[in-house]
Chains A and B, each alone.
Chain A
Amino acid sequence: MTKTIDCYFWNPDLGIDDTLEFTYEDIGNDIELKKPVLTIQALEKILEDLKKTRKEYLLSLDIPDVIDKIGRVASLWMDPGYKGRKTALDVLPTVTGFSPEMLEYWGFDYFLSTMRKENLPLFGKLHPHEYREFSKLSDGLVKAYGISTIIHSKFQPEIIGHVCAGNILGIAAFEMIMDKLVDAATWVKVPSEEPVFGALYAKSIEEVDPRFAYSIAVLPFGSDQKSLQEFLFSKSDIVRATGGELTRKSLTELSEKYGVPLAGHWHKFSFITIAKEYLDSRARGIAELASLDICAWDQQGCFSPQEIFVELGGEVSPLDFAQLLAEEMETTTRALPKGTNSGKIQVLDGYYQYLTKEMMGEPVKIFPSKDHQWLVIYDQSTMNFDPSPLFRVIRVKPVADIMEIPKIVKPIGRFLQTVGVAIPDTRLIPFADAMGKVGASNIRTVSSMTLQKSWEPWDGRFPLHELMEHDTVHWVSIDTRNIDNELQFALKRKRSIVDERLKRNGTWEKKE
């Protein structure tokens, strides 16, 4: 029996459903996606209602009430028995191409927990002059770079728009939640690659408090429907967008045309750095953690690592680390398999490209998986930063000193985002500082690269502050103040995900 999934959400009392046409897209596995054919008239009504709900209800709520509602919604999603979660798990593997294991054990159990109430950010604006050195913030550290020149300021936005990319699950949900903390009504344009989860999350908010939910509209339409996008843009106080180069170009034009500030998060590069101190008996554990960063979301996020720099001088050489990593990639992939959009071609391309280099005597060595699910490449042929073909293809490069890395990645500085690290505390601050100066914004413990803490900056700006004010300060965070503790915690978490899965499917092998 075909399951029909609504990919839209707004106040059902608006009465526009009867006036709109709907399309039904069969995506296979007995699932069809129901989407409205939106019109400017319908959007006018939706926006009017969003404003009314904000004024009459959202603004009357105290922030503790808002936090409480957000927390109740997050708790629903943490419950494996929640019907919305079950529906999502039924349909999202087909919609997104991610494996059910990735969605459930990484996505729902960990990624979405960033929206639990105790993890919400309680500050929108920090004062840069108080953070000119790495200073405590939540359980980590932050530092402000650059002079603060305010470009845009509106601390009570009425309507915030969001244009979401489809590579990672959950962005739409994160955006809805952030907007409520700044008392704003929300429209979200969900991506055509993944139009489902935003509407499901909005419906879960409706279960907790319908009026609260009706300050949100989830709108699926294609980027080719320019008049709709233009209309929504022109009626918003600010638009935050994630996406690629085409999205950046088209939205920048709209931003300039209508004078509506755009908070854009575009294509980025991330990588891992392993210091020699951790290349001892802990090296296998570090390889385990790195494998999780590479496997998470099939390496599709801007925070996914594309290279690993391994410092020379440890007990385990970078080449031996690549071997360990290959073994761990196999294990982690068994627990968190790749999805159906597996990018097998990309893995094969990488394989043949580097097989040729290896045969020609270049200083490279490939560690392939039997069925091309992943590929580890040890590459000593160049020190330049090379983008990965992704889909679990990673290059390991030796580096004499981790402090050489900022120079190596400087040419792509403005595209840098997350640096996964296993670097002792004593060397971490100077490294983070040098990376911050080059352009990176998030230094995270290896295996946590795709788990943004909500207090951390996003591409150098704090997620709440960015909705109210834009300035020229670039913020850099370190996700912990004690890397040893964080690594131990991360290893327990990784093993609870991976080893538990393997124990359940009977393929777990005890490690030395």
Chain B
Amino acid sequence: MVRFPSEEWIALFKEELNKNAAYKEAAKDWEGDFLFVITPDEGLKKETVFYVDLWHGICREAHLAKHNEKAAFVFKGPYSNWKKVINNELDPLRGLIRGMFTIDGDSKIILDQAKAAQELVNTARKISVDFEG
């Protein structure tokens, strides 16, 4: 069990992603880094941002983002909605469509790589977590 969100969680996420053959296949054409922004609500008091660098099916880097770190895509939503995604109660793209998340970046690429995005989420769901409150 690791705490979500935390440095441990993102390190484990990178490890799991690089073990995921389905992700490797689905994301073989993917080039681009992400900021995953978790805005505070419920038990989370402070905004947490993960930086994840994805390159042709490999996660090259993943860490708690430093101040002002930039990425090609920014996927942002409140903590309560991230919990729903990780608990398999919400498809993140459905969340986007319903305004529960926002994305900044070229949506054409996301649409083209929707299967890869799905595998990212599937990987996150494999990690047993403790939530903040």
Residues of A bordering B, CB below 8 Å: 62-64, 67-68, 117-127, 130, 136, 138, 155, 181-183, 455, 464-465, 468
Contacts and interface: CB of A to CB of B under 8 A. Distances in A.
B72 interface: no
A117 B99 contact: no
Interface stretch (B28-36, B89-97, B123-131): B89-97
- Lowest 7 A-B CB distances belong to which pairs? A125-B99, A64-B114, A63-B93, A124-B97, A122-B107, A118-B108, A64-B118
| Chain A interface helix/strand/loop/mixed | loop
A64 B115 contact: yes
Contacts, number: 64
B115 A122 contact: no
Contacts of B117: 64
B66 interface: no
A125 B94 CA distance: 11
B114 A123 contact: no
30 contacts: A62-B91, A63-B94, A63-B114, A64-B114, A64-B117, A67-B93, A117-B111, A118-B111, A119-B108, A122-B93, A122-B97, A122-B103, A122-B107, A122-B111, A123-B97, A123-B99, A123-B107, A124-B96, A124-B97, A124-B99, A125-B99, A127-B102, A130-B102, A138-B107, A138-B108, A182-B97, A183-B94, A455-B107, A464-B97, A465-B99
A473 B107 CA distance: 23
Nearest to A183: B94
Given A117-B112, A138-B106, 16 more contacts: A62-B118, A63-B114, A64-B117, A67-B114, A117-B111, A118-B112, A122-B107, A122-B110, A122-B111, A123-B102, A124-B98, A124-B99, A155-B98, A181-B97, A182-B97, A455-B107
A63 B94 CA distance: 7
Interface of B: 91, 93-94, 96-99, 102-104, 106-108, 110-112, 114-115, 117-118
A460 to B, nearest CB: 17
A464 to B, nearest CB: 6
Contact of B99 (A126, A136, A455): A126
| Chain B interface helix/strand/loop/mixed | helix
Given A63-B94, A119-B108, A122-B93, A68 B115 contact: yes
A128 B107 CA distance: 19
Contact of B91 (A63, A68, A464): A63
A238 B112 CA distance: 30
Q: Which of B96, B102, B106, B111 neighbours the largest number of chain A CB atoms within 10 Å of its CB? A: B111
A44 B99 CA distance: 33
A468 B91 contact: no
Given A62-B91, A63-B93, A64-B118, A125 B98 contact: yes
B5 to A, nearest CB: 22
B107 to A, nearest CB: 4
Nearest to A123: B96
Contacts of B108: 118-119, 138
Contacts of A63: 91, 93-94, 97, 114
A267 B103 CA distance: 34
A117 B93 CA distance: 14
Nearest to B97: A124
A68 B114 contact: yes
Nearest to B119: A64
A403 B108 CA distance: 34
B101 to A, nearest CB: 9
A238 to B, nearest CB: 15
